Amino acid sequence: MTEPLLSVRNLTKHYPIRKGLFNRQVGAARAVDGISFDIAPGETLGLVGESGCGKSTAASSVIRLEEPTSGEVVFNGNGREGATRNPDGTHPNDVTKFDDRELKAFRRGAQMIFQDPSSSFDPRMSVGNAVGELLNIHGMSDRRRRRAIVEDLLERVGLSATDFDRYPHEFSGGQKQRIALARALVLNPDLIIADEPVSALDVSIQAEILSLIEDVQAEFGLSLLFISHDMSVIRQVCDRVAVMYLGEIVEIGPTETVFADPQHPYTEALLSSIPTPDPRASVGGIELKGTVPSPTNPPSGCRFHTRCHRVIQPEGVDVDRDDWRGLLNFRDNVAAGDVDIDQVRENVAAGETDASETEIRAAIRREFDIGETVDDPDLERTLSEAIGHLLDGEIERAETLIADAITTPCAQREPEQTIHAPDHESACLRHEERVSADPNPGDD
Amino acid sequence: MSDTQPLLEVEALTTTFSTDDGTLTAVDGVDFSVDTGETVCIVGESGSGKTVATESITGIIKTPPGHVEGTVRYKGRDLLSLPESELRAIRGTEIAHVFQNPQEAMNHCYTVGWQIVEALQVHRDVSDEAARAKAVDLMDRVGIANASARFDDYPHEFSGGQKQRVMIAMALVGDPDLLIADEPTTALDVTVQAQILRLLDELQDEFDMGILFVTHDLGVVAQIADRIVVMYAGKVMERGGVLDIFDRPGHPYTQKLLACLPEFGGTPGGIPGSLPDPHDPPDGCRFAPRCEFAEEACRTGEQPAEIEVEPGQRVSCVHYGPGGDPSLVRTENFGPTDDESEAGPADD
């Protein structure tokens, strides 16, 4: 096996939350919580997920714009190939342990492109000087040589050499992103980290920049870590893709495999939310309710279980999938105090007549997409008792009742990585159970 | 199309801006219409005039420097000739806007509930209590959980998707008949976008609204549109039913736009060239400088007149006009390259 250019192991970045007079740490936002991946030379790895899942923090921790809390980032480019581990287990190429001199050298081998091209240039510096500044910092003091290199690069990214003396405001967003790419390339790096490089651009310009990135990658033999929330962009440029949710990688694999056969329910839901440009395709697919939970207090077990449509039912329970999701949502909403029975009553009443109890019960079931009867007599009894408590205004009783009766294994145990193919892994309890219990199950 | 009067009828809409460099024509003689209960999508690259066209309808374009001409008939009344006071009565009640960036559309110094109440009381003489009840009801309708408690929260306590829901609630205060949504999901994640599109669909059924939806995302268009208006450099290139345009796009620009999608082959590099300078648009068809089928006739005179190529589908292209050869540009069997997409029943 060839040596990967970049090898990230258990990388974490926690932001401390401080409070009070003495600024004591009271908790931490676990933005990145133990992610691992490799990037081979010349390969593009995509990092995808909703906003707030830690993609950008992962990128800036890898390149050490921010100090990672723990973990290892081994960078084998830039003339550091073939190093072996020290006797004490540390790696000589571990970026997180680099001193200042090594870090400066590392920055020559790894560069970053940011989302907003307008705010990543100094408006008072000509673009040629902005690109050439890096050469100067890294020791090329010959002004004429710098100019020659930058002019050549500007041409390679589709601008002209005469643009050297122009200023950022004279360029459109797409052109500025081309200049940003030239700036990333000027030190001849082995790795470029691109954080949402096209999401601030128009679709038609997006396509141009993406194909430019691909051309440049082939020409310079670059590895890319490509961060985007846009699945269709990821599909266009990435060889492999890692799907992030709340600071963790839930699935990683070759792009085509992940798109064709997603193994983690989150990947599945993300893919199904992309609007397909086919007017005959049925609207819908899997609806992910709500947004990513707060990373300061992530859900126990599998972090996705609060929104998962395939959340596992405990042993002995076998009800409709949507009913089960609805029951869990009902439980969580009651616990969070988000079920406002007076509001429901008012909505149902619609004017003069008071709402009858059956109507309110039906309205609550509708709200949580629970069918008329749940297919399990025990659960059905619990649900109707809980709604009864709510109607009596005894919210706490309802809460304790369902908290004990409606539980899922997903909340109790953290899933391990399941290997589907040598290069395709996902972390979902469903796969673990399948592997151990049922070698060839039908799809639920 | 039905012979009843459309909800909104826009004819020869032209919006110009006076700038230091001369007059800039952002929208240049645009025609389209929206029926009750129907969703019409305006698509095009940024700079094509989509937003200016929709903002000209209710006169929220700042004049001067802007100047709007043409006719905008809403339920038979010409909005452009109405005095500001009458326009105000329509704007926000009968015609409501939802904008792209909910962060910027809200005042973060006031609670979300207060802002909805304000929108309500501007248009209706309702007591504070009744307004609060109505606002809570609307927040509940647009899917904000525990609305009465969230009423007193500030915008920063809401996520992007929830803020957009609040903006939609605000738009609904006057029970509008026409909702103008300008890229309402562009700033959101795909998962949240799916939620908002679903919500708009439900609300449309509930209120029987016409929706004029501006977007550049053809995936979104395919999902929600009944009819499409394709704009380029201030002109309408093509308009028609969603199925007609996705199956048999007539104008070379529409074809190119669709071909950018990975599902349609994904032309690498997008459409070569860029939008013409709005101060000095080219003669003839605006798209001619970037069009592979352009001939001498495309580069002279005015934008070609619209030709009806199919019932309801109109194309502004020389090749469909007198003396032109449609077979030159018309590709049969335009559609997704891989036949994964099973042809389901049309959902309109």
Residue type, A440: N
Beta strands at B95-98 and B178-182: parallel, antiparallel or unpaired: parallel
Spatial distance between the Cα atoms of B29 and A309, rounded to a whole number of angstroms: 49
Residues contacting residue A397 through CB under 8 Å, at least 6 positions apart: A389
CATH number for A6-13+30-238: choose from 1.20.1260.10, 3.30.870.10, 3.30.43.10, 3.40.50.300.
3.40.50.300
| Residue A288 to residue B269, Cβ atoms within 8 A | no
| Residue B217 to residue A51, Cβ atoms within 8 A | no
| Residue B136 to residue A231, Cβ atoms within 8 A | no
pLDDT score at A352: 60
A252 with A43: CB under 8 angstroms? no
pLDDT score at B333: 62
pLDDT score at B213: 93
Determine the distance in angstroms separating the CA of B235 from the nearest CA of chain A, rounded to an integer: 18
Token pair 């589907």: residue = A420
Partner residue opposite B190 with nearest CB, options A214, A274, A278:
A274
Q: Which of residues 169-228 of A touch B (CB under 8 A)?
A: 172, 202-208, 211, 214
Instruction: Report in angstroms the alpha-carbon separations of A384 from A199, A328, A349, A377, A387.
Output: 47, 14, 20, 11, 5
Token pair 């409070």: residue = A19
Residues contacting residue B66 through CB under 8 Å, at least 6 positions apart: B15, B16, B17, B56
| Residue A277 to residue B263, Cβ atoms within 8 A | yes
* Helix H or strand E encompassing B232: strand B227-232
DSSP-derived 3-state class of residue B339 = coil
Domain range list for chain B = 8-225, 229-329
User: What pLDDT digit, counting tens, does each position of B251-296 carry?
Assistant: 999 988 888 777 776 666 567 777 888 888 888 898 888 888 888 8
Give contacts of A205 with chain B, Cβ < 8 Å.
270
User: What pLDDT digit, counting tens, does each position of B133-170 carry?
Assistant: 889 888 888 878 778 888 899 988 887 778 888 888 88
| Best mutation target, B39, B138, B190, to test chain A (most A CBs within 10 A) | B190
Tell me the pTM. 0.81
Partner residue opposite A288 with nearest CB, options B136, B191, B346:
B191
| Residue B194 to residue A288, Cβ atoms within 8 A | yes
Residue type, A435: V
DSSP-derived 3-state class of residue B97 = strand
Q: Does A269 touch chain B (CB under 8 A)?
A: yes
| Residue A280 to residue B266, Cβ atoms within 8 A | no
Give contacts of B220 with chain A, Cβ < 8 Å.
275
Q: Does A363 touch chain B (CB under 8 A)?
A: no
- In the numeric block, which tokens belong to residue A85? 């581990």
| Best mutation target, A56, A256, A291, to test chain B (most B CBs within 10 A) | A291
| Best mutation target, B41, B189, B226, B290, to test chain A (most A CBs within 10 A) | B189
* Helix H or strand E encompassing B89: helix B84-90
B277 with B286: CB under 8 angstroms? no
Q: How many CB pairs under 8 A join A and B?
A: 140
Partner residue opposite B268 with nearest CB, options A211, A229, A275:
A211
Nearest to A304 by CA among A144, A161, A426, A122: A426
B319 with B301: CB under 8 angstroms? no
> What's the CATH architecture for B8-225?
3-Layer(aba) Sandwich (3.40)
| Residue B346 to residue A279, Cβ atoms within 8 A | yes
Q: In tens digits, what is the pLDDT along chain A, a chain of 444 residues?
A: 578 899 999 999 998 888 877 888 888 888 899 999 999 999 999 999 887 788 889 999 999 998 999 999 999 887 777 778 888 888 888 989 899 988 988 988 899 998 888 888 899 999 999 999 999 988 888 899 999 999 999 999 989 999 999 999 888 888 899 999 999 999 989 999 999 888 877 766 787 888 889 899 998 889 999 999 888 888 888 999 999 999 999 999 999 999 999 999 999 988 888 888 887 876 556 777 766 788 888 888 899 988 888 888 888 888 888 888 888 888 888 888 777 777 777 777 766 667 778 888 888 888 888 888 888 888 888 888 888 888 888 888 888 888 888 888 888 888 888 888 888 999 888 887 655 544 444 444
User: What pLDDT digit, counting tens, does each position of B292-334 carry?
Assistant: 888 888 888 888 888 888 888 999 988 888 877 777 777 666 6
A252 with A243: CB under 8 angstroms? yes
Determine the distance in angstroms separating the CA of A361 from the nearest CA of chain B, rounded to an integer: 17
| Residue B270 to residue A211, Cβ atoms within 8 A | yes
Confidence band (pLDDT; 50, 70, 90) for B337? low
HSE-up (13 A, CA, CB side) for residue B215: 26
Mean pLDDT of B180-197: 83
Nearest to B144 by CA among B178, B122, B116: B116
Every domain range in chain A assigned CATH 3.40.50.300: 6-13+30-238
Does the pLDDT value for residue B37 go beyond 80?
yes
- Nearest chain A alpha carbon to B193: A273
pLDDT score at A7: 92
B316 with B305: CB under 8 angstroms? yes
Angle at A381 between CA A380 and CA A387, to 5 degrees: 90
Give contacts of B194 with chain A, Cβ < 8 Å.
273, 275, 285, 287-288
- In the numeric block, which tokens belong to residue A7? 């090898």
Determine the distance in angstroms separating the CA of A43 from the nearest CA of chain B, rounded to an integer: 19
Q: Does A289 touch chain B (CB under 8 A)?
A: yes
Instruction: Report in angstroms the alpha-carbon separations of B265 from B164, B270, B335, B337.
Output: 33, 11, 9, 6
Beta strands at A223-228 and A44-48: parallel, antiparallel or unpaired: parallel
| Residue A340 to residue B217, Cβ atoms within 8 A | no
Spatial distance between the Cα atoms of A377 and A325, rounded to a whole number of angstroms: 17
DSSP-derived 3-state class of residue B274 = coil
Determine the distance in angstroms separating the CA of B191 from the nearest CA of chain A, rounded to an integer: 5
B8 with B73: CB under 8 angstroms? yes
Confidence band (pLDDT; 50, 70, 90) for B335? low
pLDDT score at B269: 58
